[in-house]
């Protein structure tokens, strides 16, 4: 005889187990066809994707903190529709957590920015909150040496709570060396730290900009990395701010370059040239075809003038070193070694200059000469 009471109890237990079972981590790809394709959000189109972590590296003294502060103000003042290096950001509240500069320095920098930005007043910055940690322990994660794991610090929990309360569009963390309590060369620790930040971004729909200093090897290689390559692998976008150096020389002390070193959702290698002036970075206008023609004409003109000057002084000019010689002369009119090298190739191809054999056969060399008309 069937015990219906026992069967009912069995089926109820089985149903409860099914209800308590966690949902599968897998989804069927065919279900995507029933939904609209989600829009990709950017804080700065093509450079800083929304709801994740972007790493902004910069050699010491390049001005990355100032550049990040300009971004923070542009995001936090939506009624003014401010641009950032010629690009329009998504706007909203901003938390700027700084561990390098003290309150007075932050005050001075913001004053310079709003002084440059006509129409912006202090009362327009109510959407920007600043936490100054220059004289505090700023670690966001503490290392457990036994397990080689990172645990969130109380400071991180405080920042997390503030993010949950204010729902900022942007959180700036300046700088990595002060916030990261682990070993920058340890891949596991690096990935844990970035994952901790990225989880907060995804959960609270915020975007983080993490500032860092590259290592000596990162500067030498031009990669801008610091420690483990896991920093590059863990973030979805990475920007590198450098001085503009050509042929080993910095010809313009106020010029900088911002390069997209990594972008999971866009193109890499894009560059923005900018100039510092009175405490503010502005993007330089992109060079047009006419600009390049004018610069080439200038390089050709200066090349020929310096060639005549050197010949008048009895100086021999060799094709392998002439561009270096000209680039060191005070009369070079700001031109670089590379520009003189390109001028040499153009003028030689055009028949304006020639390579004249000189010396006995045993010590024969070729000198750069003007072609006589």
Identify the bridge partners of residue 116 per DSSP, sorted by sequence position. Answer: none
pLDDT of residue 145: 82
C-alpha to C-alpha distance for 11 and 108, rounded to whole angstroms = 71
Cα(305)–Cα(124) distance, integer angstroms? 55
CATH number of 289-370: 1.10.10.10
**How high is the pLDDT of residue 17?**
62
Structure confidence at residue 11 (pLDDT)? 57
What pLDDT sits at residue 16?
63
The CA-atom distances, in angstroms, between 68 and each of 71, 94, 175, 208, 271 are 5, 11, 11, 11, 17
Query: Which pLDDT score is estimated for 172?
Result: 98
What integer pLDDT is reported at residue 79 of this predicted model? Answer: 87
Block means of pLDDT (10 residues each) for the chain, length 373 residues? 58 62 87 92 96 95 96 94 94 96 94 89 96 93 87 96 98 95 90 96 98 86 82 94 82 90 92 92 79 90 96 94 92 88 94 93 92 81
pTM across the whole model: 0.78
Annotated domain spans of the chain: 42-283, 289-370
Residue 30: half-sphere exposure toward Cβ, Cα within 13 Å: 0
Could you say which of 3.40.50.300, 3.20.20.330, 3.30.70.520, 3.20.20.30 is the CATH number of the domain covering 42-283? 3.40.50.300
Query: For position 373, what pLDDT does the model report?
Result: 67
């Amino acid at each position: 005889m069937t015990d219906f009471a026992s069967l009912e109890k069995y089926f109820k237990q089985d149903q409860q187990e099914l209800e308590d079972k966690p949902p599968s981590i897998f989804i069927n790809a065919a279900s995507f066809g029933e939904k609209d394709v989600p829009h990709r959000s950017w804080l700065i189109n093509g450079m800083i994707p929304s709801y994740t972590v972007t790493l902004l590296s910069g050699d010491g003294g390049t001005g990355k903190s100032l550049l990040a502060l300009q971004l923070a103000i542009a995001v936090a003042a939506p009624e003014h529709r401010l641009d950032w290096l010629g690009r329009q950001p998504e706007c909203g509240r901003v938390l700027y957590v700084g561990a390098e500069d003290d309150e007075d320095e932050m005050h001075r920098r913001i004053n310079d920015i709003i002084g440059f930005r006509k129409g912006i007043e202090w009362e327009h910055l109510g959407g920007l909150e600043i936490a100054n940690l220059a004289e505090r322990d700023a670690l966001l994660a503490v290392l457990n040496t036994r397990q080689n794991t990172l645990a969130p610090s109380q400071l991180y929990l405080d920042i997390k709570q503030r993010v949950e309360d204010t729902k900022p569009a942007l959180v700036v963390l300046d700088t990595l060396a002060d916030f990261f309590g682990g070993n920058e060369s340890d891949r596991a620790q690096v990935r844990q730290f970035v994952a901790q930040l990225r989880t907060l971004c995804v959960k609270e729909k915020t975007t983080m900009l993490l500032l860092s200093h590259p290592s000596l090897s990162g500067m030498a290689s031009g990669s801008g990395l610091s420690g483990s390559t896991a920093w590059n692998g863990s973030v979805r976008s990475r920007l590198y701010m450098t001085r503009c150096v050509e042929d080993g020389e910095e010809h313009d002390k106020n010029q900088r370059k911002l390069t997209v070193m990594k972008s999971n959702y866009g193109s890499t290698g894009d560059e923005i040239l900018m100039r510092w002036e009175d405490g503010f970075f502005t993007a330089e206008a992109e060079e047009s075809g006419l600009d390049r023609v004018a610069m080439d004409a200038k390089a050709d003109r200066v090349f020929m003038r310096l060639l005549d000057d050197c010949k008048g002084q009895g100086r021999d000019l060799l094709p392998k070193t002439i561009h270096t010689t000209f680039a060191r002369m005070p009369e070079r009119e700001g031109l670089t070694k590379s520009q003189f090298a390109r001028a040499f190739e153009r003028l030689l191809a055009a028949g304006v200059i020639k390579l004249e054999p000189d010396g006995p056969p045993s010590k024969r060399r070729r000198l750069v000469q003007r072609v006589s008309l």
